[in-house]
Structure 1
């Protein structure tokens, strides 16, 4: 991967925390742009000020900028090569919908109160320059399981494999070096329907065992593939391309709402787009990801998280 020695990166590779807030906002008017730029340039200092209250709580905030407002918010900095609005993926039975969003704030901490305090100060600064599109508060569920009962994020790249999977390199796009493409989708689960399935059928759909998270063998070619298989992406040379998932469960038992907030960071946007095509249209076509029979996407938005160097300089 190209050198990042002169580029400071945002905390896209921060470790999974116990709490997270996913905040998607839209810009209210062109006159709001200068105030938003100023706020974006101050995010790193704002995070330091709040994190100082408990340095062990690992508070971070990653900022993503949507395609429709990239030029305005960055004062016409070169556009990342793959940045475009989320492309709807329509299958025979299920659809990955596209929803609006100009700004993404991915706030993470071991402590919910620090996420809250950072968001409060952030929104005080943004004021009426933005409008809320979606706010989702996520939490870690036991040993990093989703509300379907399976461990989530097992296939994430780790160690030296992480930066090459997540961060754009100079040879990919020198103007986007050190940044990362981000895709978010808010999925709502039919938990009652899921629980009615035998554990063996659940494991077949996911592609892993439920108690101990052991990977199951892939289905034969032409047969129904598991979620694990459909979301594993290889290029024409057979090289596998990983993404970083920092998914979080969310929900309210009293209201009967249970879900997973999917957030994927990637060096190459096409990797996640191909994953969604395989899930929603099927691979082979017609055999969609059976997980979608119990998990419905409510949102779908693409952002680009520029390097911290770019973000800090937006007020210049």
Structure 2
């Protein structure tokens, strides 16, 4: 496997928000040649994406590949990104951010569900018994980018020129340059309990108005809103943003309702700090009240290397 330097081309972590997405988390098996087959498949992901996306160039197809901490070393043979480690469980007084396994993440999105389906079908055909599925979640865009709790999601995302500085690792971390850390969590919602709250109570928990998405003033003390707890500043007062591409998922027939959280960041500690503030509380003991109605079922960390690095994985 070649480790020569190549020009850095990031993966499309900042691809546009789409109508449909599939979040596919896989484990690499111990089958003979599994690692080699996975390497070859990842190296050819760009070609596979072109083969599928050409069917409708207006469908805004994109796929981002994330590699987990446990498989990074043997899969890539490259130095580890400085912050890459397994998702750390965060246990608060009432709620816990659970840690779950995952070697590979494929964040597949498109304006068309059938395009996502076709890419995943061809991808899984290539991977074969080299992998097993840990979780597969199909998400959809809900009205004007709302979650199933009824609020606009992703308002705080960086835009334009602010995106690379928020999500792409800089050159000072040579092993990770041009890549992005990813955290995923699958949340299940208690919609009946949430609907028992008044709109005003819901708005205080979220920190925004429900209809027109206007920010409410931050609480100066005591219970903080979800918006406030997810605002992270460093010691110098600089705010650090992340890029979210969350998607609702669910089935009214089975009573399943949820949000698949996916956050891309240049600095993993930013998302970890957000989760600590949510689950432990700020001040400690006053957890994010959205957790009384949203339970995390998974929690996994990945690193999305540059597309240039992925393309070299199949080389000798």
Task: Write the distance in 1 (CA, Å) between the matches of 2:138 and 2:18.
Answer: 12
Report the equivalent of 2:189.
189
> For residues 285 and 137 of structure 2, what CA distance do their matches in structure 1 show?
32
Q: Residue 208 of structure 1 aligns with which residue? A: 208
After superposition, residues 18-29 of structure 1 pair within 5 angstroms as 18-29=19-30
Q: TM-score, normalised by structure 2?
A: 0.97
Q: What is the deviation of 1:182?
A: 0.2
Report Cα offsets for 1:209-234 as digits up to 9, x if no partner: 0000000000013x100000001100
Separation (CA, whole Å) in 2 of partners of 1:10 and 1:30 = 28
CA contact under 8 A between 2:182 and 2:304: conserved in structure 1? Answer: yes
The answer on whether the counterparts of 2:31 and 2:130 sit within 8 Å (CA) in structure 1 is no
Q: 1:47 to 1:62 in 2, by over 3 A?
A: same
- Give the structure 1 partner of residue 98 of structure 2: 97
Q: After TM superposition, give the deviation of residue 30 of structure 1 in Å.
A: 6.0
Q: Determine helix, strand or coil for the equivalent of 2:212.
A: coil
Q: Distance in 2 between matches of 1:72 and 1:149?
A: 43
2:67 to 65, 81, 84: 65
Taking the TM superposition and a 5 Å limit, the aligned residue runs for 1:1-316 are 6-29=7-30, 31=32, 32-74=34-76, 76-171=77-172, 173-221=173-221, 223-316=222-315
How far has the Cα of 1:6 moved from its partner? 2.9
SS at match of 1:55: coil
Cα deviation, residue 129, structure 1: 0.3
**Structure 1: distance between partners of 2:134 and 2:190:** 23
Separation (CA, whole Å) in 1 of partners of 2:275 and 2:35: 33
Contact 2:31/2:129 (<8 A) preserved: no
TM-score (norm 1): 0.97
**For residues 83-122 of structure 1, what are the alpha-carbon distances to aligned partners after superposition, in whole Å with 9 as ceiling and x for unaligned?**
0000000000000000000000000000000000000000
Q: CA deviation at 1:73?
A: 1.0
Instruction: Report how many residues are paired.
Output: 309
SS in 1 for 2:314: coil
Q: Deviations over 1:25-53 (max 9, x none)?
A: 00111631000000000001100000000
Question: For the residues of structure 2 that align with 1:313 and 1:174, how far apart are their CA atoms?
Answer: 16
After TM superposition, the runs of 4+ consecutive aligned structure 1 residues lying more than 4 A away are none
